[in-house]
Amino acid sequence: MIKLMLVDDHDLVRTGIKRLLEDHQGFEIVAEATSGEEALSQINAADPDVVLMDINMPGIGGLEATRKLLQSRPGIKIIVVTMHDDDLFPQRLLKAGALGYVTKGAKVEEIIKAINTVMANRRYISPVIAQQMALSNLAEEEDSPFENLSERELQVLMMMMDGQSISAISEKLFLSPKTVSTYRSRLYSKLNVKNDIELARKALLYGIVENTAKLKT
pLDDT band, residue 140 (cuts 50/70/90): very low
Residue 90, pLDDT score: 74
**204 CB contacts (<8 Å, ≥6 apart)?**
211, 212
Residue 141, pLDDT score: 47
Residues of the chain with CATH 3.40.50.2300: 2-137
Q: Which residue has the higher pLDDT, 214 or 201?
A: 201
Give the separation between CA 95 and CA 67, rounded to whole angstroms. Answer: 9
Q: Which CATH fold would you assign to the domain 145-205?
A: Arc Repressor Mutant, subunit A (1.10.10)
Residue 86 predicted with pLDDT over 80: no
- Give the count of beta carbons closer than 10 Å to the beta carbon of residue 167: 10
Exposure of 2 by Cβ count < 10 A (0-12 exposed, 13-18 middle, 19+ buried)? Answer: middle
Q: Which CATH fold would you assign to the domain 2-137?
A: Rossmann fold (3.40.50)
Instruction: Answer yes or no: are the C-beta atoms of 101 and 94 closer than 8 Å.
Output: yes
pLDDT band, residue 61 (cuts 50/70/90): confident
Q: Which residue has the higher pLDDT, 89 or 101?
A: 101
Average pLDDT, the chain: 83
Residue 138 predicted with pLDDT over 50: no
Residue 215 predicted with pLDDT over 70: no
Give the separation between CA 98 and CA 173, rounded to whole angstroms. Answer: 21
Residue 162, pLDDT score: 80
Residue 161 predicted with pLDDT over 50: yes
